Each structure stands twice: as C-alpha cells, then as structure tokens.
Amino acid sequence: MNAFAVDLHIHSCLSPCGEDDMTPCNIAGLGFLNGLKIMALTDHNTAKNCPAFFAACREYGIVPVPGMELTTAEDVHMVCLFPELETALAFDKLVEERRMKIRNKPAIFGEQVIMGEGDTPIGNDPWFLPAATSLSIEEGAELVRSMGGVCYPAHIDREANGLLAMLGFFPEKPVFTLAEVHDEDKRDLAVGRKILVSSDAHRLWEISDGSFCVHLDVEPEAGEEAIRKALFAMLEKRS
Ligand SMILES: [Zn+2]
Ligand SMILES: [Zn+2]
C-alpha cells in the first residue's frame, strides 16, 4: 500500500461560487505545490471543465478524477466521481436534462465560465448551476453506479446541503459506504462509513494542503490510469 495525498472535491470557475481564478491550470498548479497526487474536479451539476482540468493535471503530473457535485431533488449535495472522462461527460449530458433552468445572475452569483485547454474561456453556462435537479438521492446514486461511478454524500458536517442537515439521518437506500467530511475531527458523523476528507475549495487557498491521504494498492509511478483504477477499487470496496 502506498499513500497518495488527495483532494476529491474542488470547484472551478464554472461554479458560480467558485472564484474566477479557480481555472483548471491554477487548480492543478496549486495542487502540485501542495503535494497533491490525485485531484477531482466537482463543479455543481456539471462536468464541462473536466476536459481542460485533465489537460492541466497532466502538465503537473497529477492524477485527475472527473466528477460533479450533484444537487439532488432533496437539495442534498452528493459527490459523483467517474473512472473515465468520457463517462463523466455522458453523465453531464443526462444531468443537464434534469436541471432546473433558472437564469444565472453573474453580478449576484458569479460567472460560470467553461474553459478550454490552457485556461482559454470557451463559453458560459447561462443557467444557474447549483439549483436542485429532479434526480432524487436514490435515483442519482443509482444512475452514477449504473455508469460505473461512485457517489457519496458531500460535507455531511455542514449545514448547507449536507445530507445529515437536510434529512437528519443516513437513508436505508441507497446504501452509502462512503461519506465526505470537511473537518476530519467530525468523522464520527459517518458512523462506521469510510471517510474522505475533502476541501470543497471555491478559492485557491482553500485547496487541501496535502495532509489527507488515501492508501492504494498501486505504485506511485504506475501511471494515471492504474492509479485511478486503484482509487476506484478502494472507493468501491465495501469494508
Ligand atoms: Zn456542496
Ligand atoms: Zn462543493
């Protein structure tokens, strides 16, 4: 087993609440400086900055994980991660059809900038991204799993859109074997589930300092695909 410093919950400038300098290249560069080995991009209800994020991570030797922070119909945030970029983009398309179309107000909520490689802006999403989708927790989890991804409740130690704050408990279905906390000392809230400590960074300085590691059955030099595969094997493991 080898330790890999990870941050699996990061927002880019495509999330309205993500600062403008949260560009794919800046995120990867900061992650590199902080010693991170694996980073996931998880914008609200979109994966459209993941292709540029992949390109940026490869420049810095970081293993990118494509993802999304899904807002369920119950207004609960779930982190959804995929082993391949293509699957994350296919999931993005399905979620797009289930999003509520409320126009974004950039002056109030912030811009939602889609980035191309090398931090070149290539578009804007006109609809307010974090709004609830019509996917329930159960439906969302089922969809992610049917596509080979993993999903788990985000920041269960937070009031805003945390599963425990919204529902008060872990539902019987779907079965979550993982849970994310923002503060490691709140790990007891997960009652026996595997814990992931992630930054939920919306600003560059919020990106994890590299202190949280996962232990994977793969060599650090094994290459991006092998490391991502080992990460998903760990995330999917039931115990
Ligand atoms: Zn959230
Ligand atoms: Zn988030």
Residue 206 burial class via C-beta count within 10 angstroms: exposed 0-12, middle 13-18, buried 19 and up? middle
pTM score above 0.85: yes
Measured in whole angstroms, the distance separating CA 157 from the mean position of its chain's CA atoms is 16
Rounded-to-integer distance, Cα 189 and Cα 20, Å: 33
- The residues, ordered by sequence, that sit 6+ positions from 44 with a Cβ below 8 Å of its Cβ are 11, 15, 16, 17, 68, 69, 71, 129, 130
User: Counting ligands in written order, which one lies closest to the CA of residue 200?
Assistant: 2
pLDDT score of 14:
98
Please give the distance, rounded to the nearest whole angstrom, from the Cα atom of residue 10 to the centre of ligand 2: 6
Fold classification of 2-236 is: TIM Barrel (3.20.20)
Instruction: Report pLDDT digits (tens) over 70-108.
Output: 999 999 999 999 999 999 999 999 999 999 999 999 999
Q: Quick check: 206 and 199 in contact, CB under 8 A? A: yes
Q: How far does residue 41's CA lie from ligand 2's centre (Å)?
A: 10
**What mean pLDDT comes out for the span 166-178?**
94
Distances, alpha carbon 129 to alpha carbons 27, 106, 114, in Å: 20, 11, 12
The DSSP annotation for 84-140 comes to: SHHHHHHHHHHHHHHB---B--HHHH---EEEEGGGEEEEE--B-TTS-BS--HHHH
Q: Which helix (H) or strand (E) holds 110?
A: none
pLDDT confidence of residue 239: 58
Q: How far is the CA of 69 from the centre of ligand 2 (A)?
A: 6
Over the stretch 173-218, which tens digit does the pLDDT of each residue have? 999 999 999 999 999 999 989 999 999 999 999 999 999 999 999 9
Distance from the alpha carbon of residue 46 to the mean position of ligand 1, in angstroms: 13
- Ligand 2 centre to CA of 2 (Å) is 27
**DSSP label of 226:** H
Q: Is 97 helix (H, G, I), strand (E, B) or coil?
A: helix
